[in-house]
Structure 1
Amino acid sequence: MSNTISRPSVRRAAAGRAGAGLRGERLAPYVLVAPAILVIVGLRLWPLLLGVNFSFTGDGERDGASVGLDNYADLFRDPLFQTALRNVGLLVLLLPIAVAIPGLLATFIYLRVPGHRFFRSVYFFPAVLSPVIVGAIFNLLLAFDGPVNAVLGSVGLGPIDWLGDPHVAMFAVVGVHVWATFGMALVVFLAGFATLDGALLDAARVDGASLPQTIWHVIIPGLSRTIQFVFVTTMIGMLTSMFGLLYVMTSGGPEGSTYLPEYYIWIQQGQMNRPALASAASTVLFVIMLVVGLLQLSLLRRAVKES
């Protein structure tokens, strides 16, 4: 009698342990990601919501008072912020070039061109330099009487006021930023190549495909997720990590032609003492990054499907 009673109890206990094990397995992923989620919510999402809320309050005499959309109206009437938005559009247009450069270089390194190990270290080296140091170096190189104009003069080309011409300065700063940061994107591309099926490349060689055909029909589809990641991170870097270069190389000049939203935010917060207006500009910058990022991902997915 005792045996017949104990066996069901043993089965129930075993079933209970199995159920607890299953529940533990289901909860394990949530427990593991919980710290990261708490950090994101506490240090990213919550401050973002506070900043959005703060953007609807006033500065100066109206400090803390609700002003509705007045800050946003002031933003879009400000010529400097209008210039910053135009420069954002320029960055979006130049973004494919900023991604294509490390992508092509990573392709050549992966295909083991002569000296590929040397080039890998050389290309990555600028990524470890401070933007202040990079800006100071290129201030000397791009000075009106600097080495770059000296080389141009030696081949019969007139000197260019790289940092003093409003129509040239933004291109110069963006070019320096791309040079200083593409090493990190190159490393990401090389990591993506590690997941690429080498048999596809061999098949392309056997079929006599040219390098452009191999890149378009094999490499780009095979690295679609890597390309999407590099596009988004490069865009975020161009919109939020150029302050050091702008501050050292042009200080927003000449004539405000190199203003970007992040530099405008610093001016309003740090020099003009208008934190609510700076919060409104930060909110606009966040919306721009979100919209541009989603559009880029959508276009990339469509391009990959067509290739």
Structure 2
Amino acid sequence: MSIPETAASVRPAPTGPTVPTPRRSPRARGPRGGRRAERLAPYVLLAPALLILLLLRFWPLLLGVNFSFTGDGDRDGLAVGLDNYRELFGDPLFRGALRNVGLLVLLLPVAVAIPGLLATFIYLRVPGNRLYRSVYFFPAVLSPVIVGAIFNLLLAFDGPLNALLGGVGIGPVDWLGDPDLAMFVVVGVHVWATFGMALVVFLAGFATLDASLLDAARVDGASLPQTIRHVIVPSLSRTIQFVVVTTMIGMLTSMFGLLYVMTSGGPEGSTYLPEYYIWIQQGQMNRPALASAASTVLFLIMLVVGLVQISLLRRTVREA
């Protein structure tokens, strides 16, 4: 006996190949959530570094600025307004330190051009370029105290340099005792001791330089100065900006060791810099609030000088 077929049990035969229905993955179900995670990922990765900067840099900076408005000695902890800043700018030693900052700004192009030109010669593979790379970087690994002690011996009034000058008929020069000369000598020693690091940064920038641009300049008959101005400088604009800012910061904040060993701020206070003045006020005079005010002024100087230099460099690169 046959069982009658119902309409539900009868299925039409497929007329073509069947296509499986794709399953939606969890990510496909929430595209907005995936995009949100991608947007937040950089902030999550930067959060630890930003937290360290906030706790170890910005927060102490704010505390120092706040401390600069308090008093020293009998007025310790009391709010004194701008009294510390008035005393700062009335102090001849601090005004001399600010003049020396202006001298550093004027000498900065020389401090940047020296490693830049040497890196250019090394990149163009002058004979012995590998040896030069090691020799130029070697002073960067020496302690400022060691460098200062070495040059104290070389530049002494009865030292080897004056003996060499005497052999050619030039009288002895008081390199570190002349107020008009001592600061230039210390800055020159600092540049010699530190330009190796800037040289490495320039060489890293040259690694990203398009060699075809140099080949095109050579084919067009461009001289070396023209190649540097129209090809190398525009191509390394970011590297130059970085070296300028870091070199300026180093000259303002990393010369204490040389100053302490070579001149101790003399002669007649002619080699004072803000960082040395800060150490004198904090370490010898026991005036931390005044030292905090000087630190705040130094920070503002570095900020303004850095921004102005970056602006000028960008304008120069656009013109080149």
Report SS of the residue matched to 2:300: helix
Q: Quote the residue 2:256 is aligned against.
A: 243
Q: Quote the residue 2:75 is aligned against.
A: 62
For 1:157 and 1:211, locate their aligned partners in 2 and report how far apart those are by CA, in whole Å.
36
For 1:200 and 1:214, locate their aligned partners in 2 and report how far apart those are by CA, in whole Å.
9
TM-score, structure 2 normalization: 0.91
Q: Quote the residue 1:7 is aligned against.
A: none
Q: Quote the residue 2:108 is aligned against.
A: 95
Q: Quote the residue 1:83 is aligned against.
A: 96
For 1:14 and 1:215, locate their aligned partners in 2 and report how far apart those are by CA, in whole Å.
52
- Considering fraction of residues, name the structure with more helix: 1
Q: Quote the residue 2:155 is aligned against.
A: 142
After TM superposition, the structure 1 stretch with the greater mean CA deviation from structure 2, 278-287 or 15-24, is 15-24
Q: Quote the residue 1:4 is aligned against.
A: none
Structure 1 stretches lacking a partner, 5+ long: 1-9
Return the letter of the residue paired with 2:281: Q
Q: Quote the residue 2:117 is aligned against.
A: 104
- CA drift at 1:26: 1.4
Whether 1:254 aligns to 2:267 is yes
- CA drift at 1:248: 0.4
- CA drift at 1:304: 0.7
Whether 1:169 aligns to 2:182 is yes
For 1:268 and 1:172, locate their aligned partners in 2 and report how far apart those are by CA, in whole Å.
25
Q: Quote the residue 1:6 is aligned against.
A: none
For 1:239 and 1:20, locate their aligned partners in 2 and report how far apart those are by CA, in whole Å.
48
- Deviation track 1:93-144 (CA, whole Å, cap 9, x = no partner) reads 0000000000000000000000000000000000000000000000000000
Between Structure 1 and Structure 2, how many residues are aligned? Answer: 299
Structure 2 stretches lacking a partner, 5+ long: 1-22
Q: Quote the residue 2:310 is aligned against.
A: 297
For 1:15 and 1:53, locate their aligned partners in 2 and report how far apart those are by CA, in whole Å.
53
- CA drift at 1:17: 4.4
The root-mean-square deviation of aligned C-alpha atoms, in Å, is: 1.3
For 2:211 and 2:25, locate their aligned partners in 1 and report how far apart those are by CA, in whole Å.
53
For 1:218 and 1:254, locate their aligned partners in 2 and report how far apart those are by CA, in whole Å.
45
Report SS of the residue matched to 1:52: helix
Q: Quote the residue 1:74 is aligned against.
A: 87
- CA drift at 1:13: 4.9
Q: Quote the residue 1:264 is aligned against.
A: 277
Residue 203 (structure 1) aligned to one of 211, 216, 221: 216
For 2:211 and 2:28, locate their aligned partners in 1 and report how far apart those are by CA, in whole Å.
48
For 2:307 and 2:32, locate their aligned partners in 1 and report how far apart those are by CA, in whole Å.
41
How many percent identity over aligned positions?
83
- CA drift at 1:12: 9.2
Q: Quote the residue 1:222 is aligned against.
A: 235
Return the letter of the residue paired with 2:88: L
TM-score, structure 1 normalization: 0.95
- Deviation track 1:214-253 (CA, whole Å, cap 9, x = no partner) reads 1111111110110000000000000000000000000000
Asked if structure 1 preserves the Cα contact closer than 8 Å seen for 2:213 and 2:231, the reply is: yes
